[in-house]
């Protein structure tokens, strides 16, 4: 008796569609099913059944099982089953055929071949009818569970691919948050908490487009993560009481707790925390929690090298900033202004550099870029800049300097190349000699609406190729020499010559002055760039 009560309670929410043209039979079947706790939807024909199913499909309330008489007046029960199974959104509806006349083995085979789950001969005992319905429901739920698991595994695989493709901890957190939200069916926030205090957050759903969490929120989450994080690389699944959770990351019902799934990176120097409202786990497949735990582990594995790169990037940026002063020392006879804009925090390290040096023959201006994006590029940039400062003490000729730098790279960094433009300016006469090694040639802005590139070209440094004779030009009292790195104008998908012409046109219309020229070019071209930008503008003193 207790078992029967449990089964009735378990099936209270099930709805059975009964398709039978005989009113007495519909009534009898309906009575048996209702006594077992089912809701019953009776129809008389195959056409009525299809119409009823389509209406319920639009409302999102398909029945759980269909009991279909084989001998319907408008179509056979087998045909009705085939039509239902042919519709993708109804194909999972379990169909049980029944008949009092068609009871031969061939009839049962026809029902199974049409897609039915079972075949019932009526009249039948109520217990048999209920058992067949339970078996059909059980099979449908198992298939549905397997389908949901396959879908969730696909979602997990797609998310892990996105996580592994992330280029920064912030991008990693955003990809993991989106995957967590898709797995749990609701909003999610993911935190990557580094040992040194860095916290990277990604959110999906809810306030995903809102500003990043403030310092207080980050501190609260960091404190919670450190309290619950294991040290052996395992995944901890815990619930944070509502009063302890900072508001605003995603919608949480009043008094609702937050579920945290936390694990550490393999080196133990960072933790990954996946969070979502607890209600989002209710009604999900039993394996959802395990899938979220797998995602946390995958995120932690991807986080470790990205965080190590962040440390490397910080070292490289420190090198760049320490060796590229924003203000240059006073140089006799010339006015020199420089600007340096590092790429965004999401991008790689660049090797852009500039220099303005006093020599016995005038002022030597240089702008260059070490090819590549890495800590090595930054360190080689520093070496080139120091070597240039040392070499120009005894020899200021741009061609000679380019040759020496080329040999230095071949000997100490044979796998590295660099672009460089050198301009030696005599402040007394304006005579300017330019040696170019694969770099954007300098622009001479002679007056408003007049700017032209100096036709100076040559091979990159590091290739061991001969250097051409320097190109000469003469700067007038009002002329400005503008030297830039390609990060200012280079855009993926746009020919460099087109970008250079846009730069020339913009420089020709820029305001007077060296600082105004640099600022105008940064305002026009320097937004949202994926590479570092260096500019140097020079003019003879009045």
Rounded average pLDDT over 291-316: 70
Sign of CA dihedral 67, 73, 78, 81: negative
Q: Which helix (H) or strand (E) holds 383?
A: helix 375-391
What number is the average pLDDT over the span 40-47? 91
Per this entry, what is the length of the chain?
542
Residues 190 and 194: their CA atoms lie apart, in Å, by: 13
Asked if pLDDT for residue 383 goes beyond 50, the answer is yes
Average pLDDT of the segment spanning 372-399: 82
Window from 276-285, 404-413, 456-465 with minimum mean pLDDT? 276-285
* β-strand pairing of 334-341 with 533-540: antiparallel
Give the whole-angstrom CA distance, residue 465 versus residue 433: 20
Question: Using an 8 Å Cβ cutoff, are 140 and 116 in contact?
Answer: no
> What are the pLDDT digits (tens) for 244-257?
776 666 655 666 77
Tokens representing residue 291 in the block: 């899938």
Rounded (5°) CA angle 374-378-382: 160
Over 70: is that where the pLDDT of 5 sits?
no
Tell me what the mean pLDDT of segment 270-290 comes to.
70
Angle between helix 496-508 and 514-525 (nearest 10): 140
- The whole-number pLDDT of residue 528 equals 65
Q: In angstroms, rounded to a whole number, what is the distance separating the alpha carbons of residues 191 and 492? A: 32
Nearest one of 431, 453, 430, 441 to 508, comparing CA atoms = 453
Element (H, E) at 349: none
- 128-142 tens-digit pLDDT: 888 888 888 877 776
What domains can you pick out in the chain, each with its CATH number?
Answer: 2-149 (3.40.50.2300), 165-315 (3.30.450), 324-540 (3.60.40.10)
Q: Would you state the torsion angle of the CA atoms of residues 474, 335, 356, 456, taken in this order, to the nearest 10 degrees?
A: -30
Does residue 281 have a pLDDT over 70? no
pLDDT band at 314 (very low <50, low <70, confident <90, very high): low
Residue 538 corresponds to which tokens in the numbers above?
């020079």
Q: What is the pLDDT of residues 104-113, one digit of tens each?
A: 788 778 888 8
The strand ranges marked E within 426-501 are 431-437, 443-447, 450-453, 471-474, 480-484
Can you give the pTM of this predicted structure? 0.49
Which residues are CB-contacts of 530 (< 8 A; sequence separation ≥ 6)? Answer: 343, 344, 347, 487
At residue 344, does pLDDT exceed 70? Answer: no
Candidates 423, 386, 424, 382; CA nearest to 404 is: 386
Mean residue pLDDT of the chain comes to 78
What lies within 8 Å, CB to CB, of 34 at 6+ separation is 40
Rounded to 10 deg, the angle between the 169-184 and 126-164 helix axes is 170
Instruction: Tell me how far CA of residue 93 lies from CA of 62, 97, 117, 252, in angstroms.
Output: 8, 13, 10, 35
Q: How far apart are CA 285 and CA 147, in angstroms?
A: 11
């Amino acid at each position: 008796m207790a078992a029967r009560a449990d089964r009735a309670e378990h099936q209270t929410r099930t709805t059975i569609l009964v398709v039978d043209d005989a009113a007495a039979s519909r009534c009898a079947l309906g009575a048996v099913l209702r006594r077992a706790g089912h809701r019953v939807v009776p129809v008389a024909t195959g056409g009525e059944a299809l119409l009823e199913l389509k209406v319920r499909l639009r409302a999102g309330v398909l029945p759980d099982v269909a009991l279909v008489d084989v001998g319907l007046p408008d179509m056979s029960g087998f045909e009705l089953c085939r039509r239902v199974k042919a519709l993708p959104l109804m194909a999972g509806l379990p169909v049980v055929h029944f008949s009092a006349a068609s009871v031969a083995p061939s009839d049962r085979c026809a029902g199974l071949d049409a897609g039915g789950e079972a075949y019932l001969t009526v009249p039948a005992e109520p217990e048999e009818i209920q058992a067949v319905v339970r078996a059909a429901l059980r099979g449908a739920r198992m298939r549905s569970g397997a389908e949901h698991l396959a879908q969730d595994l696909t979602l997990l695989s797609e998310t892990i691919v996105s996580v592994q493709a992330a280029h920064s901890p912030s991008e990693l957190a955003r990809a993991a948050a989106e995957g967590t939200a898709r797995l749990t069916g609701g909003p999610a926030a993911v935190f990557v908490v580094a040992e040194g205090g860095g916290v990277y957050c990604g959110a999906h759903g809810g306030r995903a487009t809102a500003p990043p969490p403030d310092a207080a929120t980050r501190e609260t989450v960091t404190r919670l993560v450190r309290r619950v994080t294991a040290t052996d690389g395992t995944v901890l699944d815990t619930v944070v009481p509502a009063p302890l959770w900072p508001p605003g990351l995603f919608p949480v019902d009043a008094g609702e707790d937050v579920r945290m799934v936390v694990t550490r990176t393999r080196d133990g120097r960072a933790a990954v925390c996946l969070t979502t409202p607890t209600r989002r786990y209710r009604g999900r497949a039993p394996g959802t929690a395990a899938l979220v735990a797998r995602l946390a582990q995958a995120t932690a594995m991807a986080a470790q090298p990205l965080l190590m790169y962040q440390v490397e990037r910080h070292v490289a940026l420190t090198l760049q900033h320490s060796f590229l002063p924003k203000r240059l020392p006073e140089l006799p006879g010339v006015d020199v202004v420089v600007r340096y804009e590092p790429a965004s925090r999401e991008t790689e390290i660049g090797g852009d550099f500039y220099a303005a040096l006093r020599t016995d023959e005038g002022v030597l201006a240089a702008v260059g870029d070490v090819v590549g994006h890495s800590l090595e590029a930054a360190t080689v940039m520093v070496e080139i800049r120091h070597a240039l400062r040392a070499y120009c003490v005894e020899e200021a000729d741009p061609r000679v300097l380019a040759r020496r730098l080329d040999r230095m790279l071949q000997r100490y960094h044979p796998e590295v190349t660099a672009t460089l433009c050198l301009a030696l300016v005599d402040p007394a006469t304006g005579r300017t000699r330019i040696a170019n090694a694969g770099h954007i040639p300098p622009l001479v802005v002679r007056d408003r609406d007049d700017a032209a590139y100096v036709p100076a070209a040559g091979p990159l440094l590091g290739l061991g190729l001969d250097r051409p004779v320097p190109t000469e030009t003469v700067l007038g009292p009002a002329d400005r020499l503008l030297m830039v790195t390609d990060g200012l104008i280079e855009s993926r998908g746009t020919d460099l010559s087109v970008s250079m012409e846009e730069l020339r046109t913009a420089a020709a219309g820029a305001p007077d002055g060296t600082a105004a020229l640099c600022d105008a070019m940064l305002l026009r071209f320097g937004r949202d760039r994926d590479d570092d930008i260096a500019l140097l503008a020079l003019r003879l003193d009045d």
